[in-house]
Amino acid sequence: MANNPALNKFRSTVMAPARPANPAGPGMGQAPPVGQLEQMYNQPAYGGPTYPPTGGVPGYGGGGSGGAPSRYMTLDAVVVRFSAMLAVLFTTGAVAWALTPRSNATPILLIGVMGGLALGLYISFTMKANAVTSLVYAGFEGLFLGAISRLFNAQYAGIVVQALTGTVMVAGGVLIAYKVGAIRVTPKFWRVTIAATIGVFGLMVVNMIAYLFHPGGLGLRDGGTLAIVFSLLCIGIAAMNLVLDFDVIEQGIKHGADEKLAWYAAFGLMVTLVWLYLEILRLLGYLRN
């Protein structure tokens, strides 16, 4: 539920290199023929930038000529969609918080986990992110986060506020570092981040299986020193995934991605932030214990 398995697919969709403006034209320093000069003179005035197609992804073509989308993704479009998802998440989270008893939150947790996992994987691998799927996903995540946050807060008073503050500070710091160029997104950075993400989630699965044979599993979630180190590692990798999310959004806008992909960008950003919040919540719980 917290992983972002389709970032590479989205990146290849919106970050295809732009075609040269005149591939059949004269070479550098070569004067065009007289007929071409006359044709250039008779053309209408410049009417704004044009963008390459978004790769012909089914369902994401627009109404423009040549397969280009009719409306392009903008930062405002991503912000509006992410804000809508955040509003739904906080609303359902508040409902789950109010309905969760102090002793047993299993029903709400199961609904949130199973619904969020199933819908999240569907959106990730099909890229069919729209208003319905994205907002319903946010609703499931809100149920899960509201219930588990209530349980943590019942055991450690005030920990939820601390975790929310930490999440905002980490996300804001990563965004600032990315915008000022302190973090450069290169192909190597992509490979390392994706490999590290797959690695930590693989360890989580192995740890869950180990619970069946040994109390505490591998010790990655038992609250000891190893658990603290593992949570710090996960927070660092989640922050790296945030950098990829910011880069996908920026490159999608730069390369003229279809506006419909704004829902997918907002979805990817929420997945990463949910993971980051959960890891910070766990870490604070370990430190409070």
* Bridge partner list, 258: 72
Whether the per-residue pLDDT at 14 is higher than 90: the answer is no
Determine how many CB atoms are found less than 10 A away from the CB of residue 217. Answer: 17
119-150 per-position pLDDT tens digit? 999 998 998 899 999 999 999 999 999 999 99
Whether the per-residue pLDDT at 17 is higher than 70: the answer is no
Structure token pair of residue 150:
């209530």
Q: What is the mean pLDDT of residues 168-189?
A: 94
18 pLDDT band (50/70/90 cuts)?
very low
pTM listed for this prediction: 0.77
Q: What is the mean pLDDT of residues 12-39?
A: 47
Q: Which pLDDT score is estimated for 63? A: 40
Q: Which pLDDT score is estimated for 105? A: 79
Q: Which pLDDT score is estimated for 45? A: 44
CB under 8 A, 24+ apart: contacts of 230-233: 230/200, 230/203, 231/279, 231/282, 231/283, 231/286, 232/283, 233/200
Q: Which pLDDT score is estimated for 133? A: 95
What is the C-alpha to C-alpha distance for residues 83 and 244, in angstroms, rounded to an integer?
19
How confident is the prediction for the chain on average, in pLDDT?
81
44 pLDDT band (50/70/90 cuts)?
very low
Whether the per-residue pLDDT at 276 is higher than 80: the answer is yes
Q: Which pLDDT score is estimated for 9? A: 53
Lowest mean pLDDT among 158-167, 198-207, 210-219, 236-245: 210-219
Q: Which pLDDT score is estimated for 273? A: 97
What is the C-alpha to C-alpha distance for residues 197 and 237, in angstroms, rounded to an integer?
7
Residue type (1 letter), 90: F
Q: Which pLDDT score is estimated for 62? A: 43
CA-based R_g, the chain, Å: 23
CB under 8 A, 24+ apart: contacts of 84-91: 84/131, 84/135, 85/134, 85/135, 85/137, 85/138, 85/266, 85/267, 85/270, 86/138, 86/270, 88/135, 88/138, 88/139, 88/142, 89/138, 89/139, 89/141, 89/142, 89/145, 89/270, 90/142, 91/139, 91/142
215 pLDDT band (50/70/90 cuts)?
confident
78-92 per-position pLDDT tens digit? 999 999 999 999 999
